Amino acid sequence: MKSVLLIGCSALLFSPLALTLSAQDVHGVHPANMDKTAQPGDNFYHYANGAWIAKTEIPADRTSLSGFSLLADVVNKRVAGIVDEAAKSNATAGTEKRKIADLYASYMDEQAIDQRGIAALKPHLAELSAISNEHELATALGHTLRADTDALNNTNFHTPNLFGLWIAPGFNDPDHYTPYLMQGGLQLPDRAYYVTDSERMKTIREKYVQHISEMLKLAGLSNTDKRADAILALETRIAQKHLSLAEDENIAKANNVWQMSDFAKNAPGLDWPAYFAAAGLAQQPSFIVWQPTAITAEAYLVSATPIDTWKDLLAFHLIEQYAAAISTPLADERFNFVGKTLTGAQQQRPREQRAIALVNGILGDAVGQLYAARYFTPADKAKVEVMVQNLLTAFHARLENLTWMTPATKAEALRKLGTLQVGIGYADHWRSYQGLSIEPDDLFGNLWRASLFDYHYALARIGKPTDRKEWTMTPQTVNAVNLPLDNGLNFPAAIFGPPFFDPKAPDAVNYGAIGTIIGHEISHTFDSEGAAFDSQGKVRNWWTDADRAHFDASIEALAKQYDTYAPFPDLHLNGHQTLGENIADLAGITASHDAWLASLHGKPAPVVDGLTGEQQFFLGYAQSEAGKAREAALRQQVLTDPHSPGEFRADTVRNLDAWYAAFDVKPGQTLYLTPDDRVHIW
């Protein structure tokens, strides 16, 4: 299930300021956003965006602004209209329109939420309080398992439950769905928040333990300070055994098949039969265990930690997860820590905006079907399809012309590119929400039932044939995704808007912006993770040793390049954590540049506002990466996100020879790299 209960601080929704910033009175490069006092060769990002950064203030209810969030403002205003129409339609009970309206109403009725209060949670807290032995504890832990992680698409990788579950095509049998068991158990964003010994992290942990105590107190528990200390200590022990995000990207190390009988032997300490029975997985013969050392360590901690501490941890995680559906004081306390302390937001988003995000999170396809029909025209789709085909052609030519790759490896790479499935706008079919009960005055019940509905939907797919046409994103999502196990790409309708795509903009700018995104996703097929999968989505080494050694040396040079970037004096990027995305940025902009040049058919690109076509292309890319973030939010991104911050993504251009010619970049300038130091992969 999507993390719908975190919407108070993280959803990217509309505000008057953001709508003003995203107004499209200019089609193409925005000269007013540039700082022409900056030298492109010294700070290309500020040259492209400096004036916008200087004049832009982050609203109090935001942690950041970016091209993605500004476009999401527009998209979510449209979604708000769809939800409003559903509410006014008086649709028949049980229909998806009625569910949209009722779910929105249940979040907006704050009075009803407060009247129900802790009563909705009390039966569940009582069940946890009654746990008296390790068998019952394992059962309770099994009840919390949800299909709430996605290990390859950089979304929902983190779960506060003891373990995470991912249902996806199998590494070794991509034609059928397989369960993957993942490390879990942490409420803070990443293990770094528990194990980093800096003053800032110590302060966060001090505030976190206070937050735990306050949440337990508001839920009616006693002796909360002592309980909070024990919960933090347990989460810290779990964090110490977690793999880092950079380590998690090694697919070969993640491909560990455990039979059901292996769990007791490989990970003693947890009553696994009770755990899997409670999770509805008692008959599942095998799992792929992504982080076996962490799973083993967490199982040991189940038996090595007092049961009362586990009971308190389960209670806290439950209260934290459903705070918005229990009471205003709990929701406010959660925002005070998660919003203010962790991300720097000053105030919560307006309630109606949080309600829209909730509806998108739970009934995404129901909303998406209405959104796609209204806001993604056949003409838009046709223009994008041409760009996608041009990008595929450019990438094909690059693969054909590689001099370092042997014929056998190249043949599989071309086969993989040739079988790539590209979805544009929306899926061919929509998910049904039949069987999901939504009540207009029961937010807690709606969230509880939706969580189980999604979980049972995921479990029902295990062992069944893979649906390679299924999407993992809704049409109203401003994003794009590569699906290595499907050998496919999804480009939701919502991504095709300014600053990424503007039908009225010059082709150079569109290729610099949306073209690099399309190329980015295509190139994920061959990044540090994608290279582990063959043309059928199976984990298989299809490289010769020499080819893989060349590839690894090239991407290591890129990792070291990004290791040097430091948004703060005490915090550098981790080039291996962001490696897959950095490879995709570099290959994406390179392929898009090729595709744009090919689209000119030998004719010169028009000069616009004194900017050559080459300059428009690179500025289109850099302006699409514009953003501004609060310090806490930016620090969290550096620690937990596989994507580099926009400023450093824009710096990818320093590896392209054409950028140097476009802006007359000379030796001695900050971004200058000698030709030998420029990283070229594909």
Instruction: Give me the phi and psi of 286, to 5 degrees please.
Output: -155, 160
Instruction: Give me the phi and psi of 571, to 5 degrees please.
Output: -145, 110
Same domain, 593 and 464: yes
Name the H helices within 243-347.
Answer: 245-248, 251-254, 262-266, 272-278, 292-304, 307-321, 328-334
Amino acid identity at 442: D
Walk across the sheet containing 286-289 and list its strands. 163-169, 177-183, 286-289, 257-259
Give Cα 2 distance to the centre of its chain: 10
Whether pLDDT at 310 is above 50 = yes
pLDDT at 51: 97
From 294, 321, 348, the end of a domain falls on: 321
pLDDT at 24: 55
| Peptide bond just before 506 cis, omega within 30 deg | no
- Per-residue tokens: 186: 């942490």
Whether 115 is covered by a domain: the verdict is: no
When pLDDT is averaged across residues 639-654 and rounded to a whole number, the result is 96
Give residue 161's domain range: 122-321
Same domain, 179 and 260: yes
Whether 346 is covered by a domain: the verdict is: no
Residue given tokens 């902009």 in the structure block: 589
pLDDT band, residue 154 (cuts 50/70/90): low
Same domain, 163 and 69: no
Whether pLDDT at 130 is above 90 = yes
Name the H helices within 460-512.
Answer: 507-510
Calpha distance 92→25 (Å, rounded): 42
CATH number for the domain including 400? Answer: 3.40.390.10
- CA distances in angstroms from 179 to 12, 45, 507, 539, listed in the order given: 31, 42, 43, 15
Same domain, 37 and 175: no
When pLDDT is averaged across residues 535-555 and rounded to a whole number, the result is 94
What pTM was estimated for this model as a whole?
A: 0.92
Residue given tokens 């803070």 in the structure block: 188
From 295, 321, 347, the end of a domain falls on: 321
pLDDT band, residue 682 (cuts 50/70/90): confident
Question: Considering the chain, what percentage of its residues have pLDDT values greater than 90?
Answer: 90
Same domain, 133 and 244: yes
Whether 116 is covered by a domain: the verdict is: no
pLDDT band, residue 7 (cuts 50/70/90): very low
What average pLDDT does the structure give for the chain? 93
Same domain, 380 and 301: no
CB 187 within 8 A of CB 193: no
pLDDT band, residue 155 (cuts 50/70/90): low
Instruction: Give me the phi and psi of 194, to 5 degrees please.
Output: -100, -30
* HSE of 317, CA atoms in CB hemisphere, 13 A: 24
CATH number for the domain including 203? Answer: 1.10.1380.10
pLDDT in tens, 264-293: 999 999 999 999 999 999 999 999 999 999
Whether 393 is covered by a domain: the verdict is: yes
Picking from 22-36, 50-64, 115-129, 519-533, which range would have the lowest pLDDT averaged per residue? 22-36
When pLDDT is averaged across residues 299-314 and rounded to a whole number, the result is 98
Q: How many domains does the chain have?
A: 2
User: CA angle, 193 as apex, 191 and 196 as ends, to 5°?
Assistant: 95
- CA distances in angstroms from 424 to 335, 372, 479, 588, listed in the order given: 36, 11, 12, 17
pLDDT in tens, 40-63: 999 999 999 999 999 999 999 999
Same domain, 305 and 420: no
Same domain, 314 and 205: yes
Same domain, 536 and 619: yes
pLDDT in tens, 473-482: 999 999 999 9
Whether 251 is covered by a domain: the verdict is: yes
Calpha distance 174→402 (Å, rounded): 29
Question: Considering the chain, what percentage of its residues have pLDDT values greater than 70?
Answer: 96
pLDDT in tens, 415-473: 999 999 999 999 999 999 999 999 999 999 999 999 999 999 999 999 999 999 999 99
3-state class of 133 per DSSP? coil
Calpha distance 74→626 (Å, rounded): 17
pLDDT band, residue 150 (cuts 50/70/90): confident
Whether 646 is covered by a domain: the verdict is: yes
Residue 248: which of 169, 177, 153 has the closest Cα? 153
Calpha distance 347→350 (Å, rounded): 9
pLDDT in tens, 510-527: 999 999 999 999 999 998
Same domain, 394 and 468: yes
pLDDT at 20: 38
Whether 422 is covered by a domain: the verdict is: yes
Calpha distance 487→307 (Å, rounded): 44
Residue 187: which of 215, 223, 165, 152 has the closest Cα? 215
From 297, 321, 345, the end of a domain falls on: 321
Using the Cα atoms of residue 585, residue 586, residue 588 and residue 589 in order, give the sign of their dihedral.
Answer: positive
Whether 621 is covered by a domain: the verdict is: yes
When pLDDT is averaged across residues 393-408 and rounded to a whole number, the result is 94
Same domain, 367 and 491: yes
Same domain, 71 and 130: no
Residue given tokens 């995704």 in the structure block: 481
